[in-house]
Each structure stands twice: as C-alpha cells, then as structure tokens.
Amino acid sequence: MHPKALLDACSELVRLTLKFDHPADSIVSRFFRDHKEFGPRERATLAETVYTVLRKKLLFDHLAPSGSGPKERRLAILGFHGPRDFLKSALTDQEKNWLDQCDQINVADLMERHRHNLPEWLVQPLREQLGDEFWPLVDSLNKSAGLDLRVNALTDKRPEVQKELAKAGIKSVATPYSPWGLRLDSKPALTKVEAFARGAIEVQDEGSQLLALLLDAKRGEMVVDFCAGAGGKTLAIGACMRNTGRLYAFDTSAHRLDALKPRLARSGLSNVHPAAIAHERDERIKRLAGKIDRVLVDAPCSGLGTLRRNPDLKWRQSPQSVAEMVVKQAAILQSAARLLKPGGRLVYATCSVLPQENEAIAQAFTAANSEFTPLDVGELLSNLKVENAVSLCSGPARGTEYLRLWPHRHGTDGFFAAVWVKN
C-alpha cells in the first residue's frame, strides 16, 4: 500500500478512537470490517499506531502543536508503527523537520505527566501503593502485552502442546506461576492452528488462570462463575472439575455469553451451564441459595489492570465511574455470597489496580459478614504448588492475605483476589 494512503488511514483511525465513545478494540475491529482492502501487515500498522497514541497521548499532545494541520495526523505520525523511511516518504518537508526535532527530544527531561502518560487522578493511588516501583510500572504499561495461552488440562498436557506449537513454528515458554500456561512473544493467527481448533489451547492471561486455580474446584461439586463474561475462567474451572459436577456460568450479558458457546464446543466440557441473568438478585440465584460449593465473582471493574492491552481505559474511566463501579461490586459480592453452603469457598476478583475496588471491598465484606472467614491466599497458592506464591500476594503489614498481581512484577495483567470460607 502507498505510504500516504496508509498514513491517511492511520490518521482517520486515530480520530475515531480519540472520540472515546466506544472501546478502542471495537473501533479498530469495525474499521477493519469496513475496510477490507488492508492486508495483515497494514492492519498491524494501523492497530499498533492507534495503541501507541493511546499509551503516549499526553506526550504526543505536547509534541503535536496546534494550528499545524489536523491534530490526528500529527499524533498518527508520532505513533506510526513501521519503518521511519517508509513513514517519511508520506510526509511534507515541514512535517519531516518537525519529526526530526521530536526525535531529538530527551523524554527524561520532560515534565512527569509527559513521561507517565496517566491521568492525574490515577497517579496518586499508584504512587502510594508502589513507591519507587511507580516508574517500572509506567514502563510496563507503555509496552504491549505478550500473548498467554492456557492448555486445556482436561484433554492435553502442557509439554506436549508446547512441542506441537513449536512444530507449527510458534515458540513459547511455560508461564512461571500457572501450571497450565504458555507465553508467546509473537501474536500468530491461532485460529489456523490445529491445537486451537481441537480445544487444546485458549487465549487467557496467566493472572486470569490463577483466579481459576485459586477457586480450586473439585470433581462432582456445584460451582458458580458469577460474572462469567466470555467464559475464559469458566473453561479453566470446568477442566479442574474434570468435566464432572455442575458449573453455572452466569452473566447479565447474553451477548457476552454467546462468545462462550464456540469456546465451550471446542473445550470438550459438558458440565458447563451458561445462563443470562437479569441482575445479581435474579430468581435463578435465589433458587440456588445455600446449595453451591464454590463461587467465583470476577466483578465488573474499571479494568485498569489491563492498560497494556486496553490503554484507552485510562482516558475513558474517571473517579466518578470508579465510584459507581464500587457500589455495584459490593452488591454483586453480597448477592453471590448467598449461594454458598457451609464449608463453601468464595473468591472475589478484579482486573483493577485501585484499592477501593479491591482491598476496600474485601475488608468491608469481611466486616459485614461474620459467617465468612478470610483465607490466606499465599497459603492457598503454596498448597496448590504455585512457585514463589508469596511474591504474588499482599496484605496488611506485608502479609499474604490477598492475590495482588502487577504487570511490571509478574508479567501479567494487574489482578486482585480475596478468598473466604463460609463457616
């Protein structure tokens, strides 16, 4: 494709994305559906350009002067994912000079906001939690995430699948914590891989795999994945149960559950029962109250632990949207807890890095529900033979009460989990 045409397309996609009226990944997908003329290489350039602009928006806003052509074009030039000489062949002399000046700027000399590229309301809670690790986190968030796979433990073993992928030209390493995970450096077209077609692998971040592991569902149990979404954790839990017992996948979005159907068909699982519910107090929930062995509540959240993959979230979320989310999270957790029978296990999880969505919710639940006793996550993971389990945890006075995963420490998305047993 001609460089000018590709840069024009990048500029248009940047313009559409920066409206922030829909998630960036859905805008990119729709753009590709509307523009079938782009091949795989052009699509990679378009997507990576947009995500670079989203990651470094404050820096690029600073470098892109107003009144010098369309802003989105300047941002697309700064974020362009491709060879420099290819890009420069699409630029005017004035743009080339400006880009050369930008290249000479030492980012370390700039103001902090142009270096961390985070909204101010998010900076303080991250600094308070991380101290000197704030900048390593920033560095990790400004890079794209790798691709983690979960091997279907019901049908396959990790070493054999790793060899099979290697024969197909896909290199992987075993994830350090999850016993089912493989991490890829590349992003191959997995739908064309035989291991994917037969259900031996699913795309799932290692942190998400650990949530399923922490639930520790057993053969023959009654289990609920309360906010199942597209079912990544549901499938992992079903494999833990060795396709026995009964696993309910509840979600308020029938559309999200639809995405589970083809994955479920590939997985070989027959113990999973997806069901759309109207809200957390749905009649289905009432009928199962006191009958369930284990419940996972992967609550709707700000998603700020996934900024490597979804950098638009830091611009689309706000303190107000988080405050609304917290009310919803507390209500969902309280409703889900009613399902458990004595001796049952409850896991509350988010992919957020904010204490108000995590520790604050867990502590308030413990205080309000004397029939639930918190369990030590570090101990649970150690018993599950997870290596270096203590390093995955946090708690008061550096305890190990909670799972607390960070991109810069663990190479996963940011995750939190708390666990209780019903007395």
Residues above pLDDT 90, as percent of the chain: 95
Say if CB 186 and CB 147 are below 8 A apart. yes
Q: What is the dihedral of CA 358, 363, 369, 373, to 10 degrees?
A: 90
pLDDT of 66 strictly over 80: no
Query: What confidence score (pLDDT) does residue 398 get?
Result: 72
Name the token pair of 277.
């519910």
Q: Which pLDDT score is estimated for 185?
A: 86
Give the SS3 label for residue 354. coil
Check residue 200 and give its pLDDT.
98
Is residue 242 pLDDT above 70, yes or no?
A: yes
Distance of CA 299 to the CA centre of its chain: 13
pLDDT digits 0-9 by tens, 175-208: 999 999 999 988 898 999 999 999 999 999 999 9
Is residue 351 among the annotated active site residues? Answer: yes
Structure tokens at 232: 């990544």
Quote the CA–CA distance of 349 and 418 in Å, as a whole number.
Answer: 7
User: Residue 182 forms beta bridges with which residues?
Assistant: 149, 174
**CA–CA separation, 146 vs 125, rounded Å?**
26
Which of the following is catalytic: 10, 227, 301, 351? 351
Banded pLDDT at 68 (limits 50, 70, 90): low
What single-letter DSSP state applies at residue 379?
A: H
- Label residue 298 exposed, middle or buried (CB < 10 Å: 0-12, 13-18, 19+): buried
